[in-house]
Amino acid sequence: MSTIDNSLPLMHTHYLSLPQRTYCERNATYAAGLKCVKKLQQRVFEMQAQLGASKDDPELTADALSKWREKINVTEELFMADDDELASLAEALLAKKRFKTEDELTKIDGTWYWALPQGQRFIPRHTDALQLRTSKFGCEPHPKSLSRR
């Protein structure tokens, strides 16, 4: 484990085994999110170190110190929110091994979904119910040539 994962604030990767981490990192969505979360975590560490160094500064007022702590708290909250989202993606990847890890994922209403398979074996189904749903949201239904088979 790296020292970053064991430092506060902890990332969700602290609780994953090495094979689990490797499995999750094969997914492009997860890898990109992990890169961003690690940058946020590093930013939190840097801000905390700067705060610790500036506490000895006699010219630092209590108001400036509280503003600095507030900035750190906001950054930590962003980090924790992004890390929680990434943790839910890791849970989805580890729970749904029947999907390819490299497949694209999308988060909808707090749940991660895999894109529907594309290609020759995928049979699109265009029903009246689908057209009714799409018309409610202002989407254009599929062309008439595809709507009935």
HSE (side-chain half, CA atoms, 13 Å) at 75: 19
Q: Are residues 127 and 146 in the same domain?
A: yes
Region 87-106: what's the mean pLDDT?
70
Q: Are residues 64 and 30 in the same domain?
A: yes
> For residue 147, what pLDDT band results from cuts at 50, 70 and 90?
very low
- Mean residue pLDDT across the chain: 71
User: How far is residue 17's CA from residue 29's CA, in Å, rounded to a whole number?
Assistant: 19
pLDDT exceeds cutoff 80 at 125: no
68 vs 8 pLDDT, higher one: 68
Long-range contacts from 79-85, C-beta under 8 angstroms, 24+ separation:
79/9, 79/37, 79/40, 79/41, 79/43, 79/44, 80/9, 82/33, 82/36, 82/37, 82/40, 83/9, 83/11, 83/12, 83/37, 83/41, 84/12, 85/33
pLDDT exceeds cutoff 50 at 132: no
Q: Are residues 28 and 68 in the same domain?
A: yes
Give percent above pLDDT 90 in the chain.
6
Q: Are residues 130 and 69 in the same domain?
A: no
pLDDT value, residue 35: 92
pLDDT value, residue 136: 46
pLDDT exceeds cutoff 60 at 118: no
Q: Cα 38 from chain centroid?
A: 12
Q: Are residues 79 and 135 in the same domain?
A: no
- Residue 63, classed as helix, strand or coil, is helix
Contact (CB, 8 A) for 95 and 17: no
pLDDT value, residue 43: 92
pLDDT exceeds cutoff 60 at 69: yes
Q: Are residues 66 and 138 in the same domain?
A: no
Q: Are residues 48 and 110 in the same domain?
A: yes
Q: Are residues 106 and 148 in the same domain?
A: no
pLDDT exceeds cutoff 80 at 37: yes
Domain boundaries, position 28: 3-115
Model pTM above 0.85: no
Contact (CB, 8 A) for 83 and 37: yes
Total domains present in the chain = 2
Contact (CB, 8 A) for 99 and 27: no
Q: Are residues 37 and 14 in the same domain?
A: yes
